[in-house]
Structure 1
Amino acid sequence: MYKMIAIDLDGTLLTDELTISPNTAATIQKAIRMGTVVTIATGRMFSSAKLIAEQLGIHAPLITYQGAMIRIAGEAEALYERPVSPDIAEKLLTIAREKNIHLQVYQDDILYGAAETDKLIAYANAVQVPYTIEPDLIALAQKGFTKLLFIDEPEVLDPLQKELQLLFGESAYIAKSKRTYLEVTHPEANKGSALFFLANELGIDRSEIIGIGDNHNDAELLKAAGFGIAMGNAVQEVKDMADYISLSNNDEGVMHAIDKFILEPANAGKILEGSEEHAQLGRKKL
């Protein structure tokens, strides 16, 4: 049986309206009561992921910032953190300014923007986190950033992604989490590396893990898990590498996956165990 399940948020656990169905919440809580380690693996900042974890009763360490930080709610120190270096952070800020592309940054679990733009406001409202305006982001960059996020249309971000990959190569992890989001983290900061670290800390083998996601930044998560599940709405890259394709995020795909691979096998095991007990009683009577 699987002992751990790591679930992406946007496009996976959350509907397009950024909600979680009551049925899905109840199913996750059943899995937790059974002893399954349920965690979140998201590009969102910790404070945003924590709100959803609290709503669902998830107490496991959370994989946040695309895997750049693993942290437990209530703990001041992160279990694992891989920030973008000051040098690369400064270069990215310069590129964003020269190309006039929105770039927001994260440091000490605080969302920073150089100016109060519509994109920053819309993002903060969507994920329910506050933001801080700091005109001199270059000064902040000297401590490095947990993550940097470009927000723009695909026709702007797609060529930018190729350019950044050529510029930084293996010195940064660059991936789209949505069609309008391009995220940059430390090269070791991806959901797969973070999942390996957390599983090792908990003494869980790779073969005992399910990973569920929908977008390009979930590819490493599905590769790292012993069993990878793509949502019905997932991009083709993720579907192609998945061991199973569930329903969409708007059709309770996470609930369906947990029912099929966590709850139903457990119930079947109980039925078999009960049948064996009855059989032994019968043999004793004979």
Structure 2
Amino acid sequence: MTVTDNALHAALAPPASRIKLVVSDMDGTLLTPEKQVTHHTLAAVQALKDAGIPLCLVSSRPPGGIEMYFDVLGLHTPYGALNGGTIFNADRTVRSQLALDPGAVQDALDMLKVHNLDAWLFRGHEWLVDNPTGAYVEPERKAVRMDPQIVSSFAGSTTGIGKITGSSADYDAVARQEAEIGMLLEGRASVARSSQWFLDITPLDANKGNALRHLAEFYGVDPSEVACIGDMDNDVPMFKVAGLAIAMGQASEGVAAQAHFVTAANTDEGWSKAIETLVLPRAVSLNDHPASAPAASPGTPAGA
């Protein structure tokens, strides 16, 4: 880690000793690189249920791309889609919804076009695409089981937008635009990469940190009693809010520095290992009265 990364990690508050709620990212975290849920993950989800700890998902995915996993996971909890810009109740009805200012949408689209990043717009259950042959359209369609709405242009489609995604196989270009568009839209939008090839632009308060606060409030839990798990820049806002922040093993050093612990990668059952070794030893059922703090659990400190 760099000196800056070490300083960030050293400044973290101590990890929580009691956990009543888990909020998790999906891609790169709960899911394998092949977008699968393993038997170990299912066992860890069941262990959380048995311990009385709800699990809520927050993802940059559109709602359908999250809901498609509910049956296999056996989840009946509220969740956050579009980087937390839209919060859904357990019955999949909308609990709260944010939208980008149309001017910010147009400014972002102009920047993405100049720098040759494909742009997608998300509005409610709509996914708008003006380049259907873009490199990531078909993989995304398969991943979220959702067909895009092909438009000739985005003119007239800048209102009610919950998320813009810029995509490119030029990972350096995506990283540069994270910084440049972030500066352009400072104070108007949240801008963060959700993968090396995706840049997400969402309403200013539409980030995973605010989503975690909403979900904690729903359960009557203080954010200091929430554990979160993620792997990318867009997960850092919830790291800053949660009492226990866990980064996946493949996370960059900059992301890992802002977590209390680093678990194994999503190629090596990192999610289930985090639940087993870091969350469950701290678990306090929502149905229980506060108990004495459990002993410190094993895990790899993020600064190690």
TM-score, structure 2 normalization: 0.82
Residue of structure 2 equivalent to 1:114? 130
* Bigger radius of gyration: 1
Q: Confirm whether residue 146 of structure 1 aligns to residue 133 of structure 2.
A: no
The answer to which of 122-131 and 183-192 deviates more is 122-131
**SS in structure 1 at match of 2:240:** helix
Cα-to-partner distance string for 1:113-170 (whole Å, 9 max, x where unaligned): 01312322222122322211122322111x2311000001223222222221222212
Match of 2:8 in 1: none
TM-fit CA distance, 1:81: 1.5
Instruction: Name the CA shift for 1:234/1:155 in 2 (closer, same or farther; >3 Å).
Output: closer
Amino acid at match of 1:253: G
- Per-residue deviation, residues 166-215 of structure 1 (Å, max 9, x unmatched): 22212111101111111100111100011112211220012210010111
Secondary structure, aligned partner of 2:194: strand
Q: Residue 76 of structure 2 contacts residue 91 of structure 2 at CA under 8 Å; is this kept in 1?
A: no
User: Counterpart in 1 of 2:264?
Assistant: 247
Counterpart amino acid of 2:62?
A: M
Following the alignment from structure 2 to structure 1, what is the Cα–Cα distance between the partners of residues 154 and 51?
46
- Secondary structure of 1:229's aligned partner: strand
Q: 1:232 aligns with which of 249, 259, 265?
A: 249
* Partner of residue 52, structure 1: 69
Distance in 2 between residues matched to 1:252 and 1:31, nearest whole Å: 16
Contact 1:16 1:250 survives alignment (8 Å)? yes
Alignment of structure 1 residues 204-283 onto 2, 5 Å: 204-264=221-281
Provide the TM-score with structure 1 as the length reference: 0.87
Find the partner of 2:104 among 88, 94, 97: 88
Distance 2:70 2:237 in 1: 22
Partner of 2:28: 11
Please state whether the residue corresponding to 1:184 is helix, strand or coil: strand
Q: What do the CA deviations read for 1:51-89 (whole angstroms, capped 9, x no partner)? A: 11232011111111111111125333x212211111111
Structure-to-structure mapping, 1:156-175, within 5 angstroms: 156-175=173-192
Superposed counterparts of 1:29-44, under 5 Å? 29-44=46-61
* Cα offset, 1:230, TM superposition: 0.9
Contact 1:27 1:258 in 2 (8 A): yes
Asked whether the equivalents of residues 79 and 88 of structure 2 are also in contact (C-alpha less than 8 Å), the reply is yes
Distance (whole Å) between structure 1 residues aligned to residue 237 and residue 113 of structure 2 = 30
Aligned counterparts of 2:204 and 2:267: Cα–Cα separation in 1: 32
SS across alignment from 2:29: coil
8 Å contact kept, 1:93–1:138:
no
Which residue of structure 2 aligns with residue 79 of structure 1? 95
Structure 1 residues 160 and 265, CA gap change in structure 2 (3 angstroms): closer
Unaligned runs of 5+ in 1: 268-272, 274-286
Question: What is the distance in 2 between the residues matched to 1:234 and 1:202?
Answer: 29
Describe the SS at the equivalent of 1:5.
Answer: strand
Residues 212, 230 of structure 1: 8 Å contact kept? yes
Q: Sequence identity, in percent?
A: 27
Contact 2:130 2:150 in 1 (8 A): yes
Cα deviation, residue 34, structure 1: 2.7
RMSD between aligned residues: 1.9
Identify, as 1 or 2, the structure richer in helix. Answer: 1
Equivalenced residue count is: 266
Structure having greater relative contact order (Cα 8 Å, sep ≥ 6): 2
Shift of 1:265: 5.1
Q: 2:208 aligns with which of 185, 191, 206?
A: 191
Amino acid of the residue matched to residue 137 of structure 2?
A: L
Unaligned 5+ runs, structure 2: 1-17, 285-290, 292-304
Distance, in Å, in 2 between the alignment partners of 1:226 and 1:120 is 36
> Which string of whole-angstrom CA distances, capped at 9 and with x for unpartnered residues, describes residues 4-60 of structure 1?
001111111111121111111121022123321101111111110111123201111
How many angstroms apart in 2 are the aligned matches of 1:48 and 1:252?
A: 21
Task: Report if the CA contact (8 A) 2:78-2:92 is conserved.
Answer: no
1:23 and 2:31 correspond:
no
